[in-house]
Homo-oligomer: A and B are copies of this chain.
Amino acid sequence: MRGNPVDRRSILAGLLASAATVSLSTRPASAQGDPLASWNEGPAKTAILNFVSAVTKEGTPDFVPASERIATFDNDGTLWCEQPMYVQLAFALDRVKALSGKHPEWRNKQPFKAVLDNDLATLAKAGEQGLVGLVMATHAGMTTAEFEKIASHWIATARHPKFGKLYTELVYQPMLELLAYLRSNGFKTFIVSGGGIEFMRPWTERVYGISPDQVVGSSIKTKFETNKGQPSLIRLPAVDFIDDGAGKPVGINSHIGRRPIAAFGNSDGDFQMLQWATAAGGRRFGLIVHHTDPEREYAYDRKSSFGRLDKALDAAQSNGWAVVGMKDDWKRVFSFQ
């Protein structure tokens, strides 16, 4: 599999992904001493517990020193809801509407017109170039500080169309427990997402307990400038890095500098990250979240526009990756359920 091509969807997946805000403190991670209280008993939960037990037991062949206990998590569809569209795409569409007063030309220019008309069918036909244009028009041309302010305000106010909740309330309670459990066992937990790195960082520490330096994502280029002695970083309308698919191991190497011993994903965009983490010597762990719960969340996999899970699902068994069915393996999906 030399030279995995970045598929058509990956630019979209790369630039438009990710966000939710349940305070970590609102729900205790462990109830009655069970660190994975929202997980049903079963093979997936058992596999997690066995793996953590094995790599933390000093003097055994599977032992891994704490400094090498790196765990990487995809974000969209793995830590929070990615339907009916990536949260960052919802953000971009809202930004187009908010900025349209300053851009009268958008009324007659695609794909902006489709966004303003709420014409998702036409928008879907815009293709990669059209969507990149949307991102550049809404994510660039400002300082990093200004973008952080805009993204933070949006994430604190925008609501999910189905659940009526803040997006940061639509994080998976079992995964919050898993993050906390791994950290309590000496792991460093990283997000490795196709979503925009600067879209995630303003809220990941509060929501997931993951600090900005432990967030890896897609990025646009920035440029350092000073104006009257005041330095700033300007966000440029140019892609810097797409942290998706075969880009994920590259992003992991660049930002983390160690190979993970555990990786968690939900789509084909996580396939190479799972390979990178698990196809190495020593005890390793891979896990796929399978969206099987149309009642409490959504059910989708091979044919979904967002978070398509096909090749990675087929490869799970031969690679020994755990597949978590949300419906059967999780007692609840969100903290409010």
* Residues of A near any B CB (own CB < 8 A): 1-4, 67, 144, 188, 190, 197-198, 201, 205, 211-215, 219, 222-227, 229-231, 233, 240, 246-247, 249-250, 253-258, 272, 275-276, 279
Complex contacts, A4 vs chain B, CB 8 Å: 224
Query: Beyond A249-B231, A255-B255, is A1–B272 a contact (Cβ under 8 Å)?
Result: no
Instruction: Judge whether A279 and B215 touch: CB under 8 Å.
Output: no
Instruction: Judge whether A279 and B144 touch: CB under 8 Å.
Output: no
Query: Beyond A2-B225, A231-B279, A250-B224, is A67–B256 a contact (Cβ under 8 Å)?
Result: no
Roughly how many angstroms separate A190 CA and B213 CA in the complex, as a whole number?
10
Instruction: Judge whether A257 and B215 touch: CB under 8 Å.
Output: yes
Instruction: Judge whether A249 and B276 touch: CB under 8 Å.
Output: no
Complex contacts, A219 vs chain B, CB 8 Å: 254
Query: Beyond A205-B67, A231-B279, A279-B231, is A213–B246 a contact (Cβ under 8 Å)?
Result: no
Known A201-B257, A224-B276; 6 more pairs at CB < 8 Å: A1-B225, A2-B225, A67-B211, A212-B258, A231-B272, A233-B249
Complex contacts, A229 vs chain B, CB 8 Å: 279
Query: Quick one: which of B144, B213, B225, B253 contacts A222, CB cutoff 8 A?
Result: B253
Can you show 5 pairs from A to B with CB atoms below 8 A apart?
A1-B225, A67-B211, A201-B257, A231-B275, A233-B249
Complex contacts, A258 vs chain B, CB 8 Å: 212-213
Instruction: Judge whether B225 and A276 touch: CB under 8 Å.
Output: no
Roughly how many angstroms separate A3 CA and B2 CA in the complex, as a whole number?
37
User: Within the complex, what minimum Cβ distance (angstroms) separates A330 from chain B?
Assistant: 30
Roughly how many angstroms separate A198 CA and B258 CA in the complex, as a whole number?
10
Complex contacts, A233 vs chain B, CB 8 Å: 249-250, 253
Roughly how many angstroms separate A306 CA and B282 CA in the complex, as a whole number?
42
Roughly how many angstroms separate A261 CA and B226 CA in the complex, as a whole number?
18
Closest-by-CB residue of B relative to A254 is B219
Complex contacts, A215 vs chain B, CB 8 Å: 257
Instruction: Judge whether B226 and A1 touch: CB under 8 Å.
Output: yes
Complex contacts, A240 vs chain B, CB 8 Å: 254
Complex contacts, A212 vs chain B, CB 8 Å: 256-258
User: Within the complex, what minimum Cβ distance (angstroms) separates A60 from chain B?
Assistant: 23
Complex contacts, A255 vs chain B, CB 8 Å: 213, 255
Closest-by-CB residue of B relative to A248 is B224
Complex contacts, A213 vs chain B, CB 8 Å: 188, 190, 213-214, 255-258
Instruction: Judge whether A250 and B222 touch: CB under 8 Å.
Output: yes
Closest-by-CB residue of B relative to A275 is B231
User: Within the complex, what minimum Cβ distance (angstroms) separates A282 from chain B?
Assistant: 14
User: Within the complex, what minimum Cβ distance (angstroms) separates A25 from chain B?
Assistant: 15
Instruction: Judge whether A225 and B257 touch: CB under 8 Å.
Output: no
Kindly name the residue among A2, A3, A249, A256 whose own CB sees the greatest number of chain B CB atoms within 10 A. Answer: A249
Roughly how many angstroms separate A235 CA and B3 CA in the complex, as a whole number?
13
Instruction: Judge whether B272 and A246 touch: CB under 8 Å.
Output: no
Complex contacts, A250 vs chain B, CB 8 Å: 222-224, 233
Query: Beyond A225-B2, A258-B212, is A276–B188 a contact (Cβ under 8 Å)?
Result: no
